Structure 1
Amino acid sequence: MAPRASAAEAPAYPSLVADVGGTNARFGWLAQAGAAVTDVQVLPVREHRSPLSAVQAYLALQQARLGADYQAPRRLAFALATSVGGDRLELTNAHWSFSRSELQAQLGLSSLLVLNDFEALALSLPRLSAAQLRQWGGARVLPGEDLGAAGALAVIGPGTGLGVAGVLPSRHGWMALPGEGGHMTLAPADGFESELLAQVRTEFAHVSAERLLSGIGLPVLHQAVRAVLGAPLAEALSTEQIVERGLTGADAFCERSLATFCALLGGFAGNVALALGARGGVYIGGGIVPRLGDYFFASQFRERFEAKGRFRAYLEEIPVALISDTLAALSGAALALEQQDAVRL
């Protein structure tokens, strides 16, 4: 009988990659090392009691598709919208709470690599193509042939929450800088924004960037805009309703909310660029900004991104690009697996 392979010698592929936010869990398949992510499926988080349920649902689809060629995945790179640390994990803006060691055992995996979702998105940045981006300003065209020569890259994503991360070039490849920058205190830039934040502080002691610049935050911002402008109390609107009414011009308060959202996001993005020294570029991900389309590019975002006094010239050089591909983080999770392989060699 042949000796049993150790965990280190066990086959690494096929592997599974996943990007889990507060609303959707996106799954993809890696058939072999260096292969593109394929067979992507998007499953609503609310329809599954746990990550185990969602993974099993995806694998059932894969098994039906591949038939006799199906092999159970050896590894999973799990990018999650939460702070990653310890064995017990809980999504910030969704109901999933689980043990990573238990999940690995339940799925029979040789390894379970857990990343912050924006750590995975940051790792995807060096691999993005021009077709996946829409650039706004800056001295260079993204992506460049030698992206690493420009220095750090940053990514900011207003989705259900607000993610922030960076990635740095090193002699060993790209190194992700995960964090919880969306929970930094939001700063106003003028009198109107100061009134807005004062209004929000009557309800929340700490007004983070995520509190207003996210899917859960836009309704809070909209109510504050109405209050500051002296509008009567009205039924709260969802993020989808605010975006739709603001873009069509059907509601002046919704339009002002979108304009304020873009301006505040620009100021916040400029702060992130300064903090990380992201001269290689700032990328905008998440699900909200792509819905705004040309409205975003006509907004005050870029003006406010650059409006940093003596460092205006510094920021004028930095390109900003909207990530139009909502599945980009899966390629970042795949890169994380490749990096894991390289460490073992």
Structure 2
Amino acid sequence: MTSSFGARNRSQAFAKRALMPRAIGLAAGFFCVGGVFWEQGRPPFIWALLITFCFVWPWMAFLLARSAEHPAHIERRSVLLDSAFSAFWVAAIGFNLVPSVVMLSMLAMNNVATGGMAFVLRGWLAKMVGIAVSVATFGLSFSFYSTPLVVYSSIPMIVIQPLVIGWTLYKLALRLGQNREVLRELSETDSLTGLYNRRYWNALLENAYKRRVHGVSNGCLALLDLDHFKQINDTHGHLVGDEVLRHVACALRSNLRPTDIVARFGGDEFCVFLPDTDRVTAFQVLDRVRINVADAVFGQKQTTIATLSIGLTAFDNPILLNEWFKQADLALYEAKAHGRNQVACFETTQNPSKEHNTYVKKEKC
């Protein structure tokens, strides 16, 4: 039911967008044809047909598109009908030079805007049908000379129609740009927390790592994991679990700098890269995040408590990116092994026999 209602709203919006360009363009076309008819002294029924096409047909096309299941298909057919009807009137005025060139040029422009160059051929086929019907109805005649009155009556279409088409294409370009931006955000961010997703964060981290290797600056890498998050979901429900995840994201954003790169790595895991930051400063910042989460309560009864375990490592030596990430993972493992709800730092000291890994927690980091 909701999907059907949404599709109907989209159809109506599409039909409304197509209405005004057609209505304005055909109203301008009325003067092109009307100037010639005025000089020719055409009978009232011809004027009635012209008025119907220029001022009634746009609303008929609007109603057809609005009620259609696929309004874009109906609109393309309506554009072909525009071409056929307009060519009918071009033949009816005896191919008078100025209005005929103006009308056929604007029709071609409209065809290109609707479906590209491939659609132009279909538009010309529709024009040929319109011309054939007009010749069968009124006979074939040619009047290439355009009087000043006919030239002046063509000015509205010369001025208005390009503006209408240009404005329509401009709005479509804006909408396309907005849609592209939305798609970009969806491809880079996690929909629940609004943080970067794992794929995009990995790309950012790789770029940051290259800068570290070339000695541009230092930095720290941290992995964060919610303690016993499955138990929170199983006991209190996934809605509370989602609330916890959003709060962690909020705590990270409120305590970190805009230059820090934060992501939801997947499930209950988060990752942070803090550029131009030493280990002590990074520890202090991340410990504030941990405290913020530990002090919060969740759920309708405000009884659910969540805690974070955090593994932190600094870029001390030019090691491989995977090794750097592994250091943060080992520190996270150590934080969990020593009781969770704490920040563990990875440090290395060299001895004659092997590299010894030391994990220091809390204020000692």
Q: TM-score, normalised by structure 2?
A: 0.21
Higher relative contact order (CA 8 A, sep 6+): 1
Higher strand share: 1
Higher helix share: 2
Q: TM-score, normalised by structure 1?
A: 0.22
